[in-house]
Structure 1
Amino acid sequence: MKTIGNTIFISGGSAGIGFAIAKKLSDSGNQIIINGRNEARLQNALKELDNAVAIAGDLSLEADRIRIADKLKTNHPNLNIIINNAGSAFMNDLSNSENNAAEKAYQEINTNYISVIHFTSLVLPQLLEQEDSAIVNISSIAVFRSNKFLPTYSASKAALHSYTQGLRDTFADNDKLNVYEVYPPLVNTEFSAEIGGANGIPASEVADELFLALEKDQFEVPVGDTKNIHNLINPITEQIPH
């Protein structure tokens, strides 16, 4: 699809992967709308972006999802791309009965999965009015294999992955709407600091890969180490009837 002249909403766009994507797409001549919970952080991010505005709000809350979707419809009628990037993750020791594992999992599932489904459904009618539109879901290398440090986060991203595949199949015959999934590995961001993010790739690498994928209409977007796993698994899963 086109990579210039779009109106793009990016959740979690004030820092990390979301900000790197906002910067890449802003520099490329697109109108950017960043979202996040922290107004001060959003305003600081805007100082480094051209042709960008911010909408503060917490997409894990139903009322905020509805309010933001209404604001996009009223103030940004040309919206044609949404990037569902906002996420939640906890180190979750399942061997510790006092770890409150279920509550952590609930927050991850709500933010990383349920809220994406609801928000996407709210803005979908607006996207379908456009001549060229896209939904981009940021998942993770964790969709392919969980681990003992992030078992419930991995499960929430696996759910997002499955939903994204179903969403893509739903609109397979609609040549005006494309559905992308980005699979970052460990990325060096504040979000991943607790799990050794300093050893990860720069967030700009994720943004660069997404930009190239948009240019090529490449709907599956593995990044970094995820490419090796994706190259092994995707040809097999694509043979499963869907």
Structure 2
Amino acid sequence: MKTSNNTVLITGGGAGIGFQTAKLLSEQGNHVIITGRTAATLEKAVAQLKNVTPIVSDVSKEEDVIALVKKLNAAFPTLNVVINNAAAAEVYRLEAGVNAFEKASREIHTNYLSVIRLNELLLPLLEKQAEAAIVNVSSIVAISPGARLPGYAASKAALHSYTQVLRHTLSETNIKVFELMPPLVNTEFSKEIGGENGMPPEAVAAAFLEGLATDNYEIHVGNTADFYKLFLSSPAEAFATLNNRR
């Protein structure tokens, strides 16, 4: 997949992995559109970037997504890369009284169902391009779940499964389907689970760009690659390692 002269949409592009990916892609000669729920976050991001357009849009809200797709078709008819990065996560244990259903509902809706909706609505536009890509950002916990992130892990596992089927379905079209699987990353998003010990988001963005350029459709970033090998050899050992029970 070419890594320059693209028109790129990044959901949740105002901070963390999304911001660093927007920065790197804009520096590579791409026009980048970033979305997020709050104008202030997007304005702060755009002030540090070049050739980036902000659009306030919440991927979890149907009316926002419909308005976004309409605007993209009208103002950015050359859109050819969609990076589904926006996500929701809550730290909790599956115990009585934690409202796990409500928490998981938000996570599943934002991290999985919203991705399906946006991708489907953008397929007609992507199909018009000479070369196009959909990138779904999942996680190391899509391989084996983290006990402190039960809803988030389940949503990312669902996203992983969906991505594989979408890639198979679109394999004979102009649309390539990628999955970016980062480990723990040092962002505000992951602060509650020790994100300060994680991988820098700019390193994740660099690994993603390398994977995109080489058509590495399932991009295992950092220690996700070793963890995946461990999972293949022993799912129980992988689960124990991720949850610090060895």
Coarse TM-score class (shorter-chain normalised):
over 0.9
| Equivalent position SS for 2:92 | coil
1:36 is matched by which residue type in structure 2? G
Give the total of aligned pairs.
Answer: 234
Tell me, yes or no, if structure 1 residue 82 matches structure 2 residue 60: no
SS of 1:192's equivalent?
Answer: helix
Q: Give, in whole Å, the separation in 2 of the partners of 1:47 and 1:231.
A: 41
> Aligned-pair RMSD on alpha carbons?
1.4
**Identity of paired residues, percent?**
49
Unaligned runs of 5+ in 1: 236-242
Structure 2 CA distance for aligned equivalents of residues 74 and 233 of structure 1: 45
Partner amino acid for 2:5?
G
Question: CA–CA distance in 1 between the matches of 2:13 and 2:199?
Answer: 18
SS at match of 1:191: helix
Query: SS of the counterpart of 1:110?
Result: helix
Q: Which runs of 5+ in 2 are unaligned?
A: 234-246
TM-score by length of 1: 0.94
Structure 1 residue 231 displacement after superposition: 4.1
Q: Please give the alpha-carbon distance, in whole angstroms, between the structure 2 residues aligned to 1:189 and 1:101.
A: 24
1:177 maps to: 175
- 1:215 paired to 2:246: no
Are 1:69 and 2:77 an aligned pair? Answer: no
Answer yes or no: is 1:129 the counterpart of 2:128: yes
Whether 2:113 is the aligned partner of 1:114: answer yes
* Superposed counterparts of 1:1-242, under 5 Å: 1-95=1-95, 97-174=96-173, 176-231=174-229
Separation (CA, whole Å) in 2 of partners of 1:18 and 1:94: 29
- Displacement after TM superposition at 1:217 (Å): 1.1
For 1:234 and 1:164, the matched residues in 2 are separated by 19
Q: CA deviation at 1:232?
A: 5.4
TM-score, normalised relative to structure 2: 0.92
Structure 1 residue 234 displacement after superposition: 7.2
Aligned residue for 1:238? none
